[in-house]
Chain A
Amino acid sequence: MLKAKLKQVDKYIYEYPVEALMQVPARIFADQDILADLEDKVIHQLVNVASLPGIVGAALAMPDVHSGYGFPIGGVAAFDPGAGGIISGGGVGFDIACGVRTLRTPLSLKDLKAREELLADELFRTIPAGVGSRGKLKLSLKEMDKLLSEGASWAVKKGFGVEEDLEFIEEKGVAQGARPDFVSAKAKQRQEAEMGTLGSGNHYLEVQVVKEIYDVKKAQLMGLGLNQVVVSIHCGSRGLGHQIGTDYMREMVLAAKKSGYFLADRELAFAPIYSKLGEQYLGAMRAGINCALANRQIITHWVREVFKRIFGSEVLPLLYDVSHNTCREEVHEVKGKKRVLFVHRKGATRAFGPGHPELPLKYRPIGQPVLIGGSMGTSSYVLVGTKKGMELSFGSACHGAGRVMSRNQAKKSFSGRELIASLAQKGIVIRGHSWRGLAEEAPLAYKDVTRVVEVCAQVGLVEKVARLEPVVVVKG
């Protein structure tokens, strides 16, 4: 049991001390309940990450952590390129820049006037989702390359959304340094018919209502009020991102095989940031980020059209857009010294504190909005990053609830039909493409998102602003 070696270093922080090959300690943000449920495998995976070259500070796990492959899901790891630091495809994940964005509507719950069913039907019809669905856009290779270079900005130029949206996306909607030429032809082919699609699995589109406000001033600044209707979109870089992940994981494992480097798990395979393969992956991964940003931007436009058709509401301003599977070049203060680090967040959200120059002016006084998606039918949260988070977690927080039950178990334990009936009793309207898919996403297959968020807030990684509850859920 590795768990027995964890030492409590603060109320909600547990540390696994440096031993054997570890360069830095491993740290887990958790309360006693989360710790009690924690898989030993997560600690094992964190220890492996803490042993990678050039890692700085500590290998971190958020309260929603669960075991992944190689890197745990809900993990943060920062690497210094000057100290031999590395970049790993497995540290980012297959679904590059999977993330959440939230749009504000001018409507309150009573304005929906029992048109939830119509709204659900229209959203379901308009936004392609589910396995085997085809998008409504078909892109030429030349256009694809532009999209991969320009991200959400490309989408806005094509008429999907407005210029103002870009201000409220991380990196202003464009990952700089993207290299479409480092993205394989296969990855691009896989994306041909997938722009503007939601995907399947845990991805969703939700119409939500602001149910609780924890910080009135911050909520006001974000334009959120009690009972207000908002829309959240959770999806990623689709087939292109998945193929980039596959292509580069192969290259990184091949490099390890050739050099004879021992990997505790081949999903930990990496390339030095300052290497040809490292540069190639970085360029391709950034193109993957741009693909995800453009995808969410296109879906945003269609959501707005649906709201315009049904409610006549023209404007659904973007509150913010976060990606939770990324590696980004950022400046962080480590022991009083500013260093350029490559921060891997796999199932973790960037959560920059107040005053950070990366933030839009509007949010600079309060910190970066952090959007946390719940599991189907449960609460979602709007939080903000903190100064303390900058010190404790390289400005990072959790990303969602985190699975506790495998898909197979969930499929055996729940029925899609019963699930819909029970959510309908709570007044939630659901549209999904697959009963089995729905069963696999049953809320009980996940940790309690409220507890996960509470621990992040107690540690001081974030401050709570608002809690959202779903009214309409569209699943892939």
Chain B
Amino acid sequence: MGFELFSHPADIGVRAWGDSLEEALEEAALGLVAVQTDLDLIEPREERRLEVVSPDEEFLLFDFLNEVVFFMAREKMLFGQVKVFLEQKENQFFLEAKMKGEKIKPEKHKPAVEIKGVSWHELKVKRKGKGYWVQCVLDV
């Protein structure tokens, strides 16, 4: 499992992979935070929980990451640890995530850019072997 950031003319993309969809989504969320700051600088001081319900795997990636963006923006927080729990019932995905992190401290975290949202552009969720590979472009 892991993630990498890639270039897009005006923005930044995130690719992530893992042995399960849960793991790939966790990595994607960490990739998103890494666009703003060095993950090692984030201490797990506070926990936040979020839930999303989505009609397919690609909506799930879009909905989950946008929910992370919302929490970061509203609570002015950065998350360095993410745990995703997933359930599938009647063509709906139910996701719950627990995220640990702390409030943004500009001197400490030196956040570079604010993420406006996750776009649909080149957004992909693929099965790779037994695992998953996901990709999206962030509007910053």
The answer on a CB contact under 8 Å between B74 and A134 is no
Judge if B5 is at the interface, Cβ distance under 8 Å. Answer: yes
Across the two chains, which residue of chain A brings its CB closest to B6?
Answer: A408
A76-84, A238-246, A376-384 - interface stretch = A238-246
Query: Complex: how many Å from CA A39 to CA B56?
Result: 32
B113/A437 in contact, CB under 8 A? yes
Interface size on A, residues (CB 8 A): 52
One of B9-17, B20-28, B82-90 at the interface: B9-17
The stretch of B39-47, B116-124, B126-134 in contact with A is B116-124
- Contacts of A10-29 to chain B: CB distance below 8 A: none
A403 touches B70 (CB 8 A): no
Name A200's closest neighbour in chain B (CB-CB): B114
B12 contacts across to A, CB distance below 8 A? 406-408
Q: State whether the Cβ of A204 lies closer than 8 Å to any Cβ in chain B.
A: no
Report the stretch among A62-70, A143-151, A159-167, A222-230 that lies at the interface.
Answer: A62-70
Residue of A nearest to B139 (CB): A94
Q: Which of B10, B110, B140 contacts A435 (CB 8 A)?
A: B110
Contacts of B11 in A (CB 8 A): 406-407
A291 on the B face (CB < 8 A): no
Distance of A199 Cα from B137 Cα, bound (Å):
20
Whether A406 lies near B113 (C-beta < 8 A) is no
- Within B92-123, the residues touching A (CB, 8 Å) are 103-106, 109-114, 116-123
Q: Give A278 to B113 CA distance when docked, in angstroms.
A: 31
In the complex, which residues of chain B have a beta carbon less than 8 angstroms from the beta carbon of A433? Answer: 106, 111
Do residues A407 and B74 form an inter-chain contact, with CB atoms below 8 A? no
CA distance A195 to B125 in the complex (A): 36
Instruction: Knowing A69-B121, A131-B36, A132-B111, say if A94 contacts B10 (CB, 8 Å).
Output: no
Contact residues on B (Cβ < 8 Å of other chain), bracket: 35 or more
Given contacts A67-B9, A403-B10, A437 and B112 within 8 Å (CB-CB): yes
Determine whether the beta carbon of B106 is less than 8 Å from that of A131: yes
The interface residues of chain A lying within 8 Å CB-to-CB of B119 are 69, 90, 94, 249, 267
B74 near A239 with CB under 8 A, answer: yes
Question: Is the Cβ of A408 less than 8 Å from the Cβ of B110?
Answer: no
User: Which one of A184-192, A336-344, A365-373, A456-464 contacts B?
Assistant: A184-192
| Inter-chain contact B73/A201, CB cutoff 8 Å | no
Instruction: Give the residue name and chain of the B residue nearest to A437 (CB).
Output: B112
In the docked arrangement, what's the CA distance between A94 and B11, Å?
12
Bound: A199/B115 CA distance, A? 10
Contact of A131 among B70, B111, B118, B122 (CB under 8 A): B111
Interface residue stretch chosen among A53-61, A110-118, A250-258: A250-258
Q: List residues of chain A with CB under 8 Å of any chain B CB.
A: 39, 66-70, 73, 90, 93-95, 130-134, 186, 189-190, 192-193, 199-201, 239, 242-243, 245-246, 249-250, 253-254, 257, 265-267, 269, 403-404, 406-409, 411, 433-437, 440, 476
Given contacts A39-B9, A434-B112, 9 further A-B contacts (CB under 8 A): A66-B9, A90-B120, A186-B70, A201-B114, A242-B139, A246-B69, A267-B120, A408-B6, A437-B113
**Which residues of B come within 8 Å of A, CB atoms?**
5-12, 36, 55-56, 59, 62-63, 66, 69-70, 73-74, 76, 103-106, 109-114, 116-123, 137, 139-140
Task: Enumerate 30 A-B pairs (CB-CB under 8 Å) in ascending A order.
Answer: A67-B9, A69-B119, A69-B120, A69-B137, A73-B10, A90-B120, A95-B139, A131-B114, A132-B106, A132-B109, A189-B74, A190-B70, A199-B114, A200-B112, A242-B73, A249-B120, A250-B66, A253-B120, A265-B121, A406-B7, A407-B10, A408-B5, A408-B7, A409-B7, A411-B112, A433-B106, A434-B111, A434-B113, A436-B110, A476-B114
